[in-house]
Structure 1
Amino acid sequence: MKTNKNQMDLEMNLNAPHSMGTTIIGVTYNGGVVLGADSRTSTGMYVANRASDKITQLTDNVYVCRSGSINLSFASTHLTLLFYLGFLAADSQIVSDYVRYFLHQHTIQLGQSATSKVAANLIRLLSYNNKKMLETGLIVGGWDKYEGGKIYAIPLGGTLIEQPFAIGGSGSSYLYGFFDQAWKEGMTKDEAEQLVVKAVSLAIARDGASGGVVRTVIINSEGVTRNFYPGDKLQLWHEELEPQNSLLDLLNSSNPEPMNI
C-alpha cells in the first residue's frame, strides 16, 4: 500500500506544472541596465531543467526576465501558438512570444526599434487583460535614445511600475533588505553587474526554487552583452558547502566532515 502511495506521489510530482520559481533582477546604472536570473526550472519537487535561460530578447535593445508557471486554463486557449512553438510553454514564454511578434510589427511600421516603455506597456496590457488566467511576473529592461536605460516591473495582476531596480520570483523575498543596503545611485556597469551576480547567488543559497547558473544581460548605447557565471564559480554564503563532482568525493576525502541536515 505504501509503495502505491509513493508511486502516486511520484507521478503527481512528475506531472506537476513547470514552475519558474526563480530569482530575476533588473538594475539601472549610469549608462544602461543590467538584467540577471538564475537557471532552475522545477516540476513539482523535481528540477526539470537546471540551465534554462530566463532572460528573453524582445527587440534589439529590450529584454525581459521571466518568472511564473504554467496555467493550463490559459494554455488551453492558446493551443495554436503552443503547437507552433512545439512544446508546452510557461505563461511567461507565451506572453514573451506574443509581445515579440507585436513589437516586430511595430518596428516594421515605424522603421525603428520599440522603446522599453512600449514593450513594458504591451506586456502590462496582456497581463492585465488575462490576470485571471496568467501566473507570471516579469521585469522588462532596455535602453533607447529617448530615455536611456529603464527598468519596468510587471508583477502578477498586470501592474506596471518603473523602478531604478526590480527583483522578482521566489528568491526575491530574501533580497529586499540586501538591495535596500547595497543599491546606490550612479553605479558603473561593473558595479551593477557585480551587484546582480552577488544578489542572485545569495538567493540561490537561501531559496530552494532558485539554483543552477547565473546569466546576465547588459544593455546600453553600445549594444547588448550577455555573460554566464557557472554555479561552481559563484560566491559561497554562510554554511554552504564547496562544490563537489559527486557525493563520493565527500565520502572518499581524507578528512570527511559530517554533513549538517
Structure 2
Amino acid sequence: MRFLVFGAGGAQGGAVARLLVEAGFAVRGVSRTRAVPEGVEPFQADLGDAGRVREAFAGVTHVSLVLPLEFEPDRVAAYVRHVVAAATAAGVRRLAFCAGNRLPRADTGQAAFETRRAAARAVLESPVPSVVLCPPLYLDNLAAPWVREALVNEGLLRYPVPAGVPVSWLSHADLAAATLAALTGDGLEGATLDLGGEPVTGPELAAAFGARYEEMDVDAFEAGLAAVMGARTASGVASTYRWIAGRGHDLYAAPPGGAERLGIKATSPAAWAATR
C-alpha cells in the first residue's frame, strides 16, 4: 500500500501523515508550500492544477483528502473533481475524505458547510471506494495563542460557542487514527461517519483545564483569525460559529457513533489537557 495525504503540511493532514509513517507505510504528502513531516515524500502541488494532481497519484493505492480552508463553491468543486478524476484513473482502493466539520442535515446557506457537503456527495458518488469523516471541533484549537493566553494568564477559557451548547471534541491525533481505520478497515465503503467523544458544554470543557468558561464574541474571533489567515478565510470559518450560535445548537451533540464503528476511542478533554 502507498498512501497519498493531501494537506500534509497542515495540522490535520500532518497528523494523518505522521501516523501513517509511524505505522510503517510509504507516504507521499501533498502541500502547496509548507514542509511535510519527517519520513513523508514531499510533493508540491495546488489542487487547482489538474495535471499536477494527477502526477501525485503515481503508484498510489490509498488517499487521505483534507481540503484547504477555501469556501468558493466553484473552486472547491474543481479541487474535488481533480482529485476524484485522478483517483479513478489510478485505481485507488480507498479514499477517506475529512469534511473538516460535522455536516448539518439541512442546507445552511453557509459556504463553509455547503461546499463540504457537495464535496462529500461527489466523493461518495464517484467510482472510488470512499469514506467521509465528519469531525466536530478540534481540541487542538484550544492550543491557539488567542485561547491559550487567557487560559494561562486568567484561568479563563474563551471560545466562540455558547456555554450551553454541547460539543463532541476531537483531537488531531484522533482524526489521524480515524483516517487510518477508514482507509484500512473492512466494510466501510460509502459510509459517512460522525466523529468525536462524549459531548460537553463550555463550563464542563473549562473544568477539564481548571478554568472558567466565557463565550467569545464571534466578531472578535473573526478579527483575530483575519490577522493570521486573511479576511476571506476568517469570514468563512466565523460563519460556521455564527450558524451554530443561531440555529445549530445540536450539530455537535449527535452521538459520535463513527468513532465506535472505526474502533477508536476519542481522547477526552481532561486527558488531552493533561498532556499540554
Fold similarity call, TM over 0.5:
no
Q: Tell which structure's C-alpha radius of gyration is larger.
A: 1
Please, what TM-score do these two structures have when normalized by structure 1?
0.31
Please, what TM-score do these two structures have when normalized by structure 2?
0.29
Higher fraction of helix: 2
